[in-house]
Amino acid sequence: MVLLKEKNESGFHYLYDHYAGALYGVILRIVQSKEYTEEIIQDVFVKIWNAIHQYDSSKGRFYTWMINIARNTAIDYLKSKGFQNELKNQPLPDFVYNSKELSTTNHSSDFIGFNNVLEGLEVDKQELINLAYYQGYTQNEISEKLKIPLGTVKTKMRNALMKLKDLLKDYQ
């Protein structure tokens, strides 16, 4: 951490060597494309490098902070106009034939066995976690998509996160 804050390159190399795989898995799970993931992971490490002074250990673990940067960067990328236009302009046959690569059932991205942890939740709670954290939906968007009241989404999401926190205690 000291090396990173001093902008020492060896600190960056250590960071990349030890965390690139984990962050890659998080990003791949969200964007579902190796090509886009490789592009995004570069942005994530640049953001971490440039924002290291903003990390506050009293607010959480460094790993969690980095995962949040990776997650938010991946979601921002999916919502970007450039990415949306790329999807619209992609020829249908290429998109169909690449569906295996884009599949969410790619278990190689499940680097910490998180799918197994999620299976400990009820199906409706799994869906909320998936929509919010992997697809980047807001609570309002989830409410509209699932056609349930916003208050219900908030309550179910809170319950899902509390249950997930309880399930993750075994993994620390």
Query: Long-range contacts made by residues 50-59, C-beta under 8 angstroms, separation at least 24?
Result: 52/4, 52/5, 53/5, 55/1
Segment 60-105, tens digit of pLDDT: 888 889 999 999 999 888 887 665 666 555 554 444 444 444 444 4
Asked, for residue 136, whether it belongs to a domain, the answer is yes
Contact 86, 8 (CB under 8 A): no
Asked, for residue 96, whether it belongs to a domain, the answer is no
77 and 127 share one domain = no
Asked, for residue 107, whether it belongs to a domain, the answer is no
* Domains contained in the chain, number: 2
- The model's pTM: 0.55
Q: Any idea what the CATH number is for the domain that residue 140 is in? A: 1.10.10.10
**Domain enclosing residue 77, as ranges:** 1-89
Residue type, 64: T
